[in-house]
A and B are shown apart, each in its own frame.
Chain A
């Protein structure tokens, strides 16, 4: 009985330790580039000072499984880096990405990735920003979804909908539903400024029903196996 209690206590302690270790990793290896506490930047100049996207609501944004895998082996999500205006140069026909200014993202060991993920998933956004069940489910064909995304709302101007096709200033969207929670996507597209007041993404005032369709489309895109194409 004594043994049982002891091992129970050890078990409880170890999951707490996992998150504690994670918090230490975040403070030591991530805080120099990412905000771990709110609020978001309120002015353009303040935003430009931030070296990476805010993580203080990570637990309401990321899918845990994707997050842990990405931290092991990060790859670029924003073709023009963060912030796009700091990584472009004039070209002959149009402005080009200045690849020489883009740095690879630091990676973590398997153990550290698990610990950091544990700690990040504890950082929640206030319920007023994102509500569980905001995404109502359902599906859409890729071809109809693309009409809603591109023709009706002009989202493709800034986002790639497949590798090497679409705009370059925003993050790629063909994997975004794998990366982010569906309820977060509904909330962000409805009001990007509520999350990041000076993000270079406009509020397009998309009708609620079409926001559902956009997220269905992002989910359909994320089901494609892009690595094999």
Chain B
């Protein structure tokens, strides 16, 4: 591990690896996740979902379901807000979410919800839902991105395209992005070799092990409570209120422990439904999705079709790069086409670059964010072409990337100039790593790739209250998906100078803090961390004030050191250090409770880069690939809790391995999802993977007091490409479509043999 000793950086707590505060709860079964909550008198909800990819709803007859013993409420679209209006593109996102939560005139994909039942038991609810009769008119459907753009493709929704789309495109093309700089044609003319190629990736699911689950209670007075597994409970509050015509503040939302999200729990699906049922039945309603509902109805990532063209000189200099990225985002606008386009060439300092992105609708579930949404696919296409160029020109892949690497001051492919960034440092660390120089065995191939993600700040509010005994409690508003409470406590300990164990960090409900944006964009350790530090500084300021009062000296004559108020200099007076717990012991009498807080929208998230090295072995007879060695090198800015940073690196790499080798949404000709379960949608098992080595590079982010950059997402950007490069090397043929499943590899090898 390339980690400096924390102390030598002037940190006492940051950079250490204490046990997480919720550890005991999680190893004993005590932690309460989404499905673990109950309420007295609770009903169970179940949702009817379309078996058709595309159909007009003529009639929904709920009478038989309503008549069933134990059924207390049935809802359809008419039980939701009627004042949410359709608008084109993402302007109509509230309508899009409503339409996705409960279909209106048409069902748009296999799995689209169109009615729901609440009953006294889960079994009764499931039986009752089968009694709902729906009369459909089947419509033509399309699930492939290229086909959805063709002239005669069925139209998912007329008028969904926003103004960005140039004339002449099919109505399924709903958003368009174009950016870049320089003159790519001139750049290509200066190259010694230009390679242009096309690539495809299939949709993959975030695959969190915990299905969506919630418990909602809503009275006819418009006041409600919602418990749910979510990455963003303020967003859930806002959306549910909009979809049910409530006042936002009348709905209190509490986030449960969350069993994985990876971007997939950033929106609402069942939550408004549970509340609508609850309002009608006047009882709390719990809904838990089955695994097949998770696959059929919640957001997978986009599938893509991409063309990339890159020109290179004999010495490895890239003279120009261009790319077209078509993203299928399901039956609604919102595929992250602009992110794919903007991330594609970000690792490289290019004079001539141009990227185009298309957001395309098809009869599939509404895509949701999945860890660095859009970026991994772009890297797959771009880094595959760079790899081919290196091979054709006889150049070392790391040297070529170093030669072209973006650095501080580079005008990014997507516009702005980079501040301090660590791409070169990750490449140097990869080059120096023993993995890169270890000889390969027969039949193995090695691949490398860089990856890029923006990271995000976003609206954030934190409060920090001291207790009489000198301990501290932090309320943050970003659900803890992977150990963030430990990081918050470490940062607060650093500022307050009290032990990590004396701090408890809680994820507050929506009634406790101001709006907190979703835990996404790798923003938690950055933004909630920054807010925690500022809230702690606010507390320190107040503590110093109390000391100044006691000593009867000016406020600015007191400073904070190692958990104590001390006179700031010889002139300030001669007083013994006053520890935090002595100030809090009688804070009631000296001015009342001491609480610090911070609310803002921090904007200095700091982009991040990674370089991955992977060795793969391909069985030429069966097409099976084994990953034999994997190394992640990534810039964390500053690792607050290095063990959890490593965990993010390893988790991203493992998900990338699944995406590259096995995972895919498979649709039949009937437009139905054929593999809506973990048996047929195969995520990596313990027996599929090697240990995953990590190297934490630290190039401080100037936008955070300690230099933190988000780490959660960048780790999934390089794997698709790095693995494709390794597998292509081992197979002896360029693999241009993901996943590189055994049948695809066998077919590629056969085509090679047949010439």
A complexed with B: no
Residues of B within 8 A of A (CB): none
